[in-house]
Amino acid sequence: MSDRLSKSGILLIDKNKGPTSHDVVASLRRLLGIRRIGHSGTLDPMASGLMVMCVGNFTRLNPWLTKADKTYEATIRLGATSDTDDEEGDIAATADIIQPDLDKVELVIDLFKGEIQQIPPAFSAIKVGGVRSHKLAREGKKADLSPRQVRIMELAIREYNYPFLKVRVHCSKGTYIRALARDIGRELGAGGYLAELRRTAIGSMDVKNALTLEQVEFYQGSGTLSEKYLNPRSALQGVEHIQLSESSQMKRFGHGNVVALNREASFGDCAVYHPNGDLCGMGKMELGQLRPTVVFTTLSAV
């Protein structure tokens, strides 16, 4: 593997509550001495949990990693609303509340399973007329945000002790848990906002296997951090994969040329691997033709 690729990898980070996602990137850049670091999904400062960090050349994998579904543990505070739909906004208590019992909560929860239409929070990074929605909201302007279709694969009650409702959410990319908390509270007639949030998984990647920034600093100092990088095959489990076997195929792929394979498959995006298991890059498979879209290997590295 070239030196350029040896400094590339995927790190699972367990973010603490407080720092922004940009703060985590900045800390890793300082600890690793590498500028080229990105992540495959933002976490709000009030949230903790899993972030998938791509280092070096592997930042080019972000378009595929960001497609993965997400799993969260969330606490919804009922009986009040927030202009940001979370605990960091201006909180207003809801008047004349009839405390919902568990049966009603279960009925309402069921309404949000499957394919749903969701209006993003006013304080979000979505652009409206070229301007970020959160900028308009801070200026007191109402952003006309369109509903988005998202998918809730699992929404399970973990604990209900009014006014706190703890749930586990497994959802598609692009789902706002803040909006989900707001809408559940509204449907219950009590109002609600997101009080706590922890991301526990992205696709098959679990926060149990993540490092804190303190651990990253320790392993980097001991020279063993590279051993903690995630195998790309694990990170890309949701993507089809192809393993090349012939040197001529490796050379063509390494130069960005189409590779003819003895198969009739057409399945679009795929991860392409060297016989030794190293990730060569990404490609598209169409009618037996493998077209490179991202190449990590070069002729000299084959």
Segment 111-123, tens digit of pLDDT: 999 999 998 887 5
Mean pLDDT computed over every residue of the chain: 88
Decide if 83 is catalytic. no
Residues 75 and 130 in one domain: yes
Q: Comparing 267 with 111, which gets the higher pLDDT?
A: 111
pLDDT of residue 120: 86
Q: Encoding tokens for residue 8?
A: 């590339």
Average pLDDT over residues 266-286: 87
pLDDT of residue 124: 53
pLDDT of residue 265: 67
Residues 167 and 135 in one domain: yes
**What domain range is 252 assigned to?**
239-301
Q: How many domains does the chain have?
A: 3
Q: Give the Cα separation of 76 and 197 in Å (integer).
A: 9
Average pLDDT over residues 18-47: 93
Residues 44 and 142 in one domain: no
pLDDT in tens, 169-198: 999 999 999 999 999 999 999 999 999 999
Q: How far is CA 176 from CA 61, 67, 86, 159, in A?
A: 23, 15, 11, 21
* pTM as predicted: 0.89
Last residue of a domain, one of 202, 226, 251: 202
155 bridge partner residues: 169
Assign residue 248 the CATH number of its domain: 2.30.130.10
Residues 107 and 90 in one domain: yes
Q: Give the Cα separation of 274 and 185 in Å (integer).
A: 51
Assign residue 9 the CATH number of its domain: 3.30.2350.10
pLDDT of residue 134: 46
Residues 145 and 113 in one domain: yes
Highest mean pLDDT among 121-125, 137-141, 262-266: 262-266
Last residue of a domain, one of 216, 234, 252: 234
pLDDT of residue 14: 98
Residues 124 and 41 in one domain: no
With CA atoms as reference, report the closest residue to 25 among 53, 6, 48, 64.
Answer: 53
Average pLDDT over residues 138-145: 55
Last residue of a domain, one of 234, 255, 277: 234
Residues 79 and 147 in one domain: yes
Highest mean pLDDT among 5-19, 102-116, 221-235: 102-116
With CA atoms as reference, report the closest residue to 89 among 49, 123, 47.
Answer: 123
What does R_g of the chain's alpha carbons equal in angstroms?
22
Is the pLDDT score of 219 beyond 80?
Answer: yes
Percentage of the chain with pLDDT > 90? 66
Identity (one letter) of the amino acid at 146? S
Residues 54 and 97 in one domain: no
Q: Encoding tokens for residue 35?
A: 């500028």
Tell me if 44 sits within 8 A of 74, measured CB to CB.
Answer: no
Residues 272 and 156 in one domain: no
Residues 185 and 100 in one domain: yes
Residues 79 and 165 in one domain: yes
Q: How far is CA 114 from CA 135, 155, 171, 214, in A?
A: 31, 9, 9, 38
The residue from 14, 44, 85, 183 that is catalytic is 44
Residues 295 and 264 in one domain: yes
Average pLDDT over residues 61-79: 94
Is the pLDDT score of 163 beyond 60?
Answer: yes
